[in-house]
Chains A and B, each alone.
Chain A
């Protein structure tokens, strides 16, 4: 029993509810949110080190032992994801202070923000399939509210699409959970894994596995990403950076969890599906990233490419490839948050999101320019920065396992990522000053602090990858040997 595990979920939940009582006092809202995210950062670091020292931590809700009660499990992967969520949440919050605007702040922006964190962190920590569904819904309903908050025409249109597709996928999720419960009669993930190992994964269980693949792919934007470029370009930058950094990653986390812990017995079927979908995601994402000259579109297609790339790590499935996937996942959360924060600031300063109308910003904003450059190189995977280690691990094992075509696509997609981001960089920062640059706003301190901090984090993660790898390899260890997880959860039985 370790009650600390519920705190990363409880802190934002209590904060959100407290903030509901006085939505007009913006100063209070900001202070309380700040304290809450800092507290969460501390708690999640404590949990991370606890997991590192004492092994997998579990909390049986209400004292009911699994498989009867809900269990919260923090293995290394979950602890790392929770910590990354807290970091990204703090950065997006600080960035939101300067950019979100009074009107949105008055209409419950901060409570929705905290509820989103509740859903995301709950999804990472839970060890129960139906509880995962509930946490997904907490996250999705807050994201509906955040995406529509402000009520402009474009937001309303895209929210409608976003809600429709997510309701569909949630329904499919419930149906898949019902089928799975019908077949094996349990919903606890560790117990599911044991029972599926006993009855053998074939026929009906493979069908259910593919259903889960479809559900989580819809959430993560793996191949079924048609809703993503539109929905992520309508909300303000602070919100879309939160979405880009967290929402698709929760889907990816669920995919990794499902296909390493529960449906790992028949990789010839499931993992080859994942491989094909990952390749298609990278190819189509690359087309999108090359085709557009609108900042939001380019960044959104970059999110899609990275989702495909992490899924490659899952498809290869060896221990090193899983390590690589976890490493790249962590890097990508930070990098995508930074990229969207920078992109949002770029759009605000240039007054347009079209690349053809901007230019020459490096003279006025050298700091922003070079931070963007660092982020672009990190995402492409240039060696001293954080994106390199993950890509290296995945591609090395991919070649060893004989996935040559998949690795060719992955490497090509890295070039496209680099091309699209450098195209953005050159068009926005180099050349003659664009016509839109007339009344230049000053960059505020909050922006410099958060974006600078994130850039520094990317550099530190790159240079200190040995140190980060200690944690990541433990996560990969648990993923590649599910017995560790199962023993930790069911040991008291």
Chain B
């Protein structure tokens, strides 16, 4: 009997969106509540792993055409650049700042440069985790 993944695949299609949303929420909640780039990245990676389990490597690669190695590298660049901006403003390296702005829907929102650093961490964690998992699963010999 051929085993079909119809339950798994259907559930995955819904769950991946929930997990992704949650991971983004966690990423941005990090400043005032538990969360942040590291755990957010791991949750996103877990959503991607769920896709890999339910479908196969090739079809996931078709829908998410991202080179995870380069994503990790880009993450480090983003994180480092938030630090190097201090050279322009003549403040110590890695100084962070924040401001309050009125956004259309969200209202009064706090924007901090630490979030950009966290975004870099997030990208690096997703990239590294997925590189590890995909390169182990592709190893055939």
Contact = CB atoms under 8 A, between A and B. Distances in A.
Contact of A62 (B70, B73, B93): B93
A3 B93 contact: yes
B140 to A, nearest CB: 16
A60 interface: yes
A13 B77 CA distance: 9
Contacts of A6: 83, 93
**Main SS class of interface, B:** helix
A1 interface: yes
Given A3-B86, A20-B73, A21-B70, A14 B94 contact: no
A17 interface: yes
Interface residues of B, number: 18
A444 B93 CA distance: 42
B80 A61 contact: no
B25 interface: no
Contact of B93 (A14, A20, A21, A61): A61
Contact of A14 (B80, B86, B87, B92): B80
A3 B87 CA distance: 7
B92 A17 contact: no
Interface string A5-44: 0100010011001101100000000000000000000000
B70 A20 contact: yes
B91 interface: yes
Contacts of A20: 69-70, 72-73
Contacts of B80: 10, 13-14, 17
Interface in A101-120: none
A18 B72 CA distance: 11
Interface of A: 1, 3, 6, 10, 13-14, 17-18, 20-21, 59-63
Interface of B: 69-70, 72-73, 76-77, 80, 83-84, 86-87, 90-96
Given A3-B92, A10-B93, A59-B93, 14 more contacts: A1-B92, A3-B86, A6-B93, A10-B84, A13-B80, A14-B77, A17-B77, A20-B70, A20-B73, A59-B92, A61-B93, A61-B94, A62-B92, A62-B94
18 contacts: A1-B92, A3-B90, A6-B93, A10-B80, A13-B76, A14-B77, A17-B73, A17-B77, A20-B69, A20-B70, A59-B92, A60-B92, A61-B92, A61-B93, A62-B92, A62-B94, A63-B92, A63-B95
